[in-house]
Amino acid sequence: MLIISQNQMQDITKYPNKVLLIQPLGTLYKTNGFVRTANLEPLALEYIQSALEQVGVSSTIYYGLIDEETLLNEVLEESLIAVCFSVYTYQYSYCLQLASKIKSLFKNLGKKPPVIIFGGYHPSAAPKEVVENKEVDIVVKGEGEFTLQELIGALISNSCLSDIRGIWYKDSLGKIIENKPRDICQNPDMLPLPKRKREVLSNARQHQIAYPAPSQQKNIAQVLYSRGCPYACVFCSSVSVWNKKVAWRSPEKVVDEIEYLHNEFGTNLVYFPDLTFNLNRKKVFEFCNEFIKRNLPIHWWGLFRLDRLDNEMLYMLKEANCVKLSIGLESEADFSSKIKDNYSLNKLDYKEILNTANDIGLIIKALLIIGFPEDTKEKIKNYNNFLKTLPIDEIRISFITPFPGTKIWNEYTRLYLPEKFNMDNFTTEEPVINHPSINKDELVSLQSNIVNDFYTDPKYIEHVKNKIKAHSYLRNSFLEYFEFLINKGILNANYIASNFN
């Protein structure tokens, strides 16, 4: 619930106030050749922008590759109150460097700098360590909309910060203060919709296998149905933000937003960044029924948990224009690892579910993690055979990465990380731990072999041909992805042409 005093509100609306919201690309531009990423809107910052606008504060978003000259010029605007950074671990050092440049700029001009605020996954997982940096004044832990509304209001009116939940900050003597935590927003419907811009959506693309194919996509957007996750997988730091809690929007509001995106921007593809879209079966069916009722010409995809899928749900998803399932198989092909706590599927179940999804034309993407300390070369090599038994269309092989806030952080930093390590590399796209039996070059080679063997296997090509034959609308979706694989030297152009002429 928004709590801003009448005096604060008067101060906010009386003066022109400005906040900069920044989420840099960080080191993702170094993404390896086996991953074709999506280019999507900065949804979290768009939510923050709308929340600030609700209380009369204007803001500008900088995301992706930052034009530092333009940014530093805007920083000098007289009305600037704060600069807020949304920070993933791999962006952390760059954000500190940029914050330092901002403070140095003002120091050299003899001016008081804007307040530097860090939020997002990394600061939420390690708030004390982050706020200890001289470049950082305040850390927002957890969701940021209501916290920043109150915080910016307090900064404008020069009010005390001690009652603002969800922040860590330095007092006038430099002492670090931890305020009471803020619970997650239990009713996300009360939040204003993200502040979207046509030029941002028009540049968005899902570059992987998708329908519509990238060349036919229009103004892709992200839409949230739920926030949070009740699980605490050892490799995931979401517990730092949501504390294993989940809050849902109403299906009507979600479909309202999708309908607005189509009517206002012509959006034809939507991504749900929910951590587990099918966490609640009843919620899935409520959304699908509402979507079907509206008969919207929009397709969508999201992240799904395999043991919460069933045939009835798959048919409902298909009818509601879902086109793709991204499913975490993690690193355990036999589902026996400790990371699969509470997993309730056996091999026969998941094969039946994946076969049904394939038969009805859903694109299936498998997400696997390799490089756990207990992994062996033989075990990783066996993933090739495992993947070939399943009707999978696309794979992503990432490396286990001990992010701050995860269950493995303390153990891995003690046992498997060098004394000095570079968090810029914490993208999951390269190995960062010192594996007890496999060196980093060998891990990269194992990843390369899995990817090459998967896509070049004649059984995979035959699988795709059969899928296109049964669902002809997917032809461009696969062929455009094959162009990417050809450019990366994974597939042979003549071989693809001979099979898909």
Residues of the chain under the 70 pLDDT cut: 1-16, 28-37, 330-348
Same domain, 213 and 89: no
Same domain, 262 and 230: yes
Domain that holds residue 377: 196-475
Model pLDDT, residue 232: 84
3-state helix, strand, coil in the chain (%, to 5): 45, 15, 40
Q: Does residue 484 fall inside a structural domain?
A: no
Q: Does residue 494 fall inside a structural domain?
A: no
Q: Does residue 191 fall inside a structural domain?
A: no
Model pLDDT, residue 337: 46
Same domain, 286 and 410: yes
Interatomic CA distance for residues 156 and 301, integer angstroms: 41
Burial 113-128 (b: 16+ CB within 10 A, else e): bbbbbbbbbbbbbbbe
Interatomic CA distance for residues 286 and 250, integer angstroms: 9
Q: Which two tokens stand for residue 424?
A: 């810029």
Same domain, 200 and 174: no
CATH number of the domain that residue 314 is part of: 3.80.30.20
Of 178, 212, 230, which residue is a domain's last?
178
| DSSP per residue, 145-168 | HHHHHHHHHHHHTT--STT-TTEE
Model pLDDT, residue 30: 60
Q: Does residue 61 fall inside a structural domain?
A: yes
Same domain, 174 and 220: no
If 0-12 CB within 10 Å is exposed, 13-18 middle and 19+ buried, where does residue 414 land?
Answer: exposed
Q: Which residues pair with 302 in a beta bridge?
A: 272, 325
Interatomic CA distance for residues 359 and 343, integer angstroms: 24
Interatomic CA distance for residues 287 and 284, integer angstroms: 5
Same domain, 69 and 31: yes
CATH number of the domain that residue 141 is part of: 3.40.50.2300
Of 145, 178, 211, which residue is a domain's last?
178
Same domain, 154 and 244: no
Q: Does residue 189 fall inside a structural domain?
A: no
Interatomic CA distance for residues 74 and 245, integer angstroms: 38
Same domain, 234 and 348: yes
Same domain, 224 and 169: no
Model pLDDT, residue 25: 86
Model pLDDT, residue 38: 73
Q: How many domains does the chain have?
A: 2
Q: What three-state secondary structure class fits 82? A: strand
Same domain, 233 and 172: no
Q: Does residue 139 fall inside a structural domain?
A: yes
Same domain, 122 and 35: yes
Of 144, 178, 212, which residue is a domain's last?
178
Q: Which two tokens stand for residue 84?
A: 């807020």
Same domain, 162 and 241: no
Q: Does residue 328 fall inside a structural domain?
A: yes
Q: Does residue 488 fall inside a structural domain?
A: no
Model pLDDT, residue 335: 44
